[in-house]
Chain A
């Protein structure tokens, strides 16, 4: 299906970002049940799933051009949002190859990749039509690209990317391109190990979630990527909710009123995938961010009802950790009229191909 891009929409300032009806229906809604708790909710990322968002290795949608521009703005203001430790060069080329191969195969109308050969030393030509880029370079030779390979390719992809080096029986966050994060800092976390960077998460440590997850992640095999969803809520459709820019977006939490919460409060879902990289043996960890406002979500009746129930039963520690405390009652008041209490089927699929009329 061809993508109609929305090149002029914004994720800051006037926040003109909106989802089309098709984009709402493909939203990766994260709640299969009426209650939410942390779990090791990982499954194979195998081209199948309850919405089209799961069907490619790296999902691309109508927001692609606008998101790449927003990333460029954030990097211009703070180049430290992209950091790569020196021992990760092999993982950088692995990432470039994986993204270029996948995007050119999955979206041939938008990307082309021609190779004189598959190995280091071959000349590759990359064409990115939506961004109007063409680049010939020598695979394996940094000097032939305008910047290092990880930055080069992740400037042309939606979502954040981290690369974890695997050693000492754990994973180290040794590279990242992070401009659409849910309030965490690459500059603070870079170089940390898995338990260190998950230190602040409440409840899950006691449940042993991280020990199990780490063992599982370290066994992820080449050719068998996995995925999970994570979520939070963001006021305004803002990608850059970093601690570094908190003064710019933090006060927005106080701006929510009953009359504007449907338009301003967004469910923020990260489709997180994990890929074993072939040469470096590192793990690539893309965090693809999706935003949908409450107004948009309730147009899928099942999602409006389920979101009302999940938020209404969320453990208080999670309400606090996800930063929802101030506006949660207002959100629940907004959602309550959409929930008639009917029993909902398990699973996250929209269960409809037609949206309810906008409120």
Chain B
């Protein structure tokens, strides 16, 4: 019950619209999957042409499922390759690796009411919200802005009695965000997930209407430890290592056998602090002060990376 990576297998795959594909995944060895809550996502390693892609997708299955995970993926025209991999390469029976689920967009359990606004594929986290008994008992409504033709696409994941309204870009069908926010009872929590323009207009409307920040939520994925690949030169050891896009600097240092003290591996404890001799760090830790980060002489290799092609460390 401890773990970080999952070996999954595609057990069903189907196009549900010209640009949307549904995948159903199970544990490759038939074991139970970790259960998840409403709003959870999984980071997948997707097979690409020449390299793997790491994409996070919200789970749309009912919360708590231990037999299957379901995702819906939109094919992105400017795809880095992940959504293309889902649409073109993954077939039933294929294996793929993923990380254990995480949740950066959980419903607020003390809310008096849940108001959800989705743009297109941004509906996916709310499909799990609407299958959560306590969200439904509290009271909720979902407004989806999508193409007129896509209204029915998500029906298989929507409970029959779910309070959902669809809106599209046509006279009489557009969502009047200000009017919607204007008649919510106190204690309502607002959640928005969609294209950045929709998110911004909802957030702006909420701010203009005086909503407390703590009651307004947008989906965003954590930066994780991955990023652009770069070279790390370990001066004292006389070694150099290429830090791959999907590993941390610390993992790369450990991979070539250089001992580095570490504890939390999450940028908080300060144990792995290392002197930076050359290069500019992209600081992602919670340990160094802003002054230390700005001075650029220290780096926490468990989470931080390089802004440029090369770092030189005093290791």
Question: Which of A's residues lie within 8 Å of B, judged by CB?
Answer: 39-47, 57, 85, 87-91, 97-98, 101-102, 105, 118-120, 165-169, 208, 211-213, 215-216, 219, 221-226, 278-281
Question: Which of B's residues lie within 8 Å of A, judged by CB?
Answer: 1-4, 32, 34-37, 39-40, 63-67, 100-103, 106, 108-110, 134, 214, 222, 263-270, 286-287, 289
Q: List residues of chain B with CB within 8 A of the CB of A42.
A: 263-264, 268-269
B100, A211: Cβ atoms under 8 Å? no
Bound together, the chains give a CA A261 to CA B309 distance in angstroms of 62
User: 8 closest Cβ contacts across the A-B interface?
Assistant: A216-B268, A281-B106, A87-B109, A215-B286, A118-B66, A279-B37, A223-B100, A168-B214
Bound together, the chains give a CA A327 to CA B40 distance in angstroms of 51
Bound together, the chains give a CA A279 to CA B109 distance in angstroms of 11
CB closest residue in chain A, given B66: A118
B269, A41: Cβ atoms under 8 Å? yes
Bound together, the chains give a CA A97 to CA B36 distance in angstroms of 13
A280, B286: Cβ atoms under 8 Å? no
A90, B35: Cβ atoms under 8 Å? no
CB closest residue in chain A, given B215: A168
Q: List residues of chain A with CB within 8 A of the CB of B100.
A: 221-224
A118, B109: Cβ atoms under 8 Å? no
Q: Would you give the shortest CB distance from B302 to chain A, in whole angstroms?
A: 11
CB closest residue in chain B, given A168: B214
Picked from B35, B66, B263, the residue with its CB within 8 Å of the CB of A43 is: B263
B35, A278: Cβ atoms under 8 Å? yes
Query: With A47-B2, A90-B134, A167-B110 in contact, do A222 and B268 touch (Cβ < 8 Å)?
Result: no
Bound together, the chains give a CA A168 to CA B189 distance in angstroms of 11
Q: List residues of chain B with CB within 8 A of the CB of A215.
A: 268, 286
A212, B35: Cβ atoms under 8 Å? no
Query: With A222-B102, A223-B100 in contact, do A40 and B269 touch (Cβ < 8 Å)?
Result: yes
B36, A279: Cβ atoms under 8 Å? yes
Bound together, the chains give a CA A85 to CA B108 distance in angstroms of 14
A280, B109: Cβ atoms under 8 Å? yes
Bound together, the chains give a CA A89 to CA B2 distance in angstroms of 23
CB closest residue in chain B, given A166: B106
CB closest residue in chain B, given A47: B2
CB closest residue in chain A, given B2: A223
B286, A87: Cβ atoms under 8 Å? no
- Identify 20 new A-B residue pairs, CB closer than 8 A, beyond the known A105-B1, A221-B100, A281-B40: A39-B269, A40-B264, A40-B270, A43-B264, A44-B265, A46-B2, A87-B134, A88-B109, A118-B66, A165-B110, A213-B268, A216-B264, A216-B268, A216-B286, A219-B266, A222-B34, A223-B34, A225-B2, A278-B35, A278-B101
Bound together, the chains give a CA A39 to CA B64 distance in angstroms of 36
Q: Is the interface of B mostly helix, strand, loop or mixed?
A: loop
A119, B65: Cβ atoms under 8 Å? yes
Bound together, the chains give a CA A87 to CA B114 distance in angstroms of 14
Bound together, the chains give a CA A223 to CA B40 distance in angstroms of 14
B63, A223: Cβ atoms under 8 Å? no
Bound together, the chains give a CA A41 to CA B108 distance in angstroms of 30
CB closest residue in chain A, given B270: A40
Q: List residues of chain A with CB within 8 A of the CB of B103.
A: 222, 281
- Of the candidates A41, A87, A213, A279, the one having the most CB atoms from chain B within 10 angstroms of its own CB is A279
Can you sample 24 A-B contacts with CB below 8 Å?
Answer: A42-B263, A42-B268, A43-B263, A43-B264, A57-B2, A87-B110, A97-B35, A101-B1, A118-B66, A119-B65, A211-B286, A212-B270, A212-B287, A215-B268, A216-B266, A216-B267, A222-B36, A222-B103, A223-B2, A223-B3, A224-B3, A225-B2, A278-B37, A281-B106
- Of the candidates A43, A166, A168, A212, the one having the most CB atoms from chain B within 10 angstroms of its own CB is A212
CB closest residue in chain B, given A101: B1
Bound together, the chains give a CA A85 to CA B110 distance in angstroms of 9
Q: List residues of chain A with CB within 8 A of the CB of B37.
A: 90, 278-281
- Of the candidates B2, B4, B100, the one having the most CB atoms from chain A within 10 angstroms of its own CB is B2
A40, B2: Cβ atoms under 8 Å? no
Bound together, the chains give a CA A264 to CA B102 distance in angstroms of 46
Bound together, the chains give a CA A85 to CA B67 distance in angstroms of 30
CB closest residue in chain B, given A282: B109
Picked from A41, A119, A168, the residue with its CB within 8 Å of the CB of B66 is: A119
Bound together, the chains give a CA A169 to CA B4 distance in angstroms of 24
Query: With A57-B1, A211-B286 in contact, do A90 and B264 touch (Cβ < 8 Å)?
Result: no
B35, A279: Cβ atoms under 8 Å? yes
Q: List residues of chain A with CB within 8 A of the CB of B64.
A: 119-120, 278-279
B134, A89: Cβ atoms under 8 Å? yes
- Of the candidates B102, B266, B270, the one having the most CB atoms from chain A within 10 angstroms of its own CB is B266
Q: Would you give the shortest CB distance from A110 to chain B, in whole angstroms?
A: 18
Bound together, the chains give a CA A213 to CA B65 distance in angstroms of 31
Q: Would you give the shortest CB distance from A123 to chain B, in whole angstroms?
A: 16
Q: Would you give the shortest CB distance from B185 to chain A, in whole angstroms?
A: 17
Query: With A43-B264, A119-B64, A279-B63 in contact, do A221 and B269 touch (Cβ < 8 Å)?
Result: no
CB closest residue in chain B, given A86: B110
Query: With A90-B37, A119-B65 in contact, do A219 and B1 touch (Cβ < 8 Å)?
Result: no
Bound together, the chains give a CA A165 to CA B134 distance in angstroms of 15
Q: Would you give the shortest CB distance from B3 to chain A, in whole angstroms?
A: 5
Bound together, the chains give a CA A279 to CA B102 distance in angstroms of 10
Bound together, the chains give a CA A265 to CA B78 distance in angstroms of 68
CB closest residue in chain A, given B110: A87
